[in-house]
Amino acid sequence: MLGRTYDDQVCSIARALEVVGERWSLLIVRDALLGLRRFDEFQGSLGIARNVLTDRLNKLVEQDVFRRVRYQDRPARYEYRLTPMGEELFLPLLALMYWGDRHLAGEAGPPRVVEHAGCGGVVVERLTCSACGETVPSGQVRTRPGPALAKRFD
């Protein structure tokens, strides 16, 4: 974890990073979204030290990103499955991936393409206005304090 040093930040980004901001954590989630479930699969994919992987997986289970499921009895063996909360990291990961594609992929191009299973078209991210339904360019976005911050000044 991050030493709880983000704790005084009333901010959902800081809180998210408390859960998944530690080195390797988001790559473990990425691998799980790609179908990996077992310790040795993650270890083989990431090439990290086993004790580090154990630590990360345990913390992600504590934080409800993964659940640990027994899949064999003798000997007892466990696998790691994303919870619904963990599966919802798909969108932040995709956003990071597209950012990396645009700025860090170089001439070789994107390592991975994300398609619409329905028609094979490339999936893109859009900001949409839930009131008027329009696509919102990032220049037309503004933020204001929400309920949790507004209360501080009551």
Q: Which of residues 29-48 bind a second copy (CB under 8 A)?
A: 30, 34, 46-48
Radius of gyration of the chain (CA): 19
Dist. CA 20–CA 44, nearest whole Å:
20
Assess 14 for contact with a second copy (CB under 8 A): yes
Per CB under 8 A, 116 contacts a second copy: yes
CB of 37 to a second copy, least distance (A): 17
Q: What does the angle CA 37 – CA 40 – CA 43 come to, to the nearest 5 degrees?
A: 100
The count of other CB atoms within 10 Å of the CB of residue 81 is: 14
Window contacting a second copy (CB under 8 A); options: 36-44, 53-61, 73-81, 140-148: 140-148
- Helical (H) or strand (E) element with 42: helix 39-46
Residue 142 binds a second copy (CB under 8 A):
yes
Q: Could you tell me the smallest distance in angstroms from the CB atom of residue 73 to a second copy?
A: 31
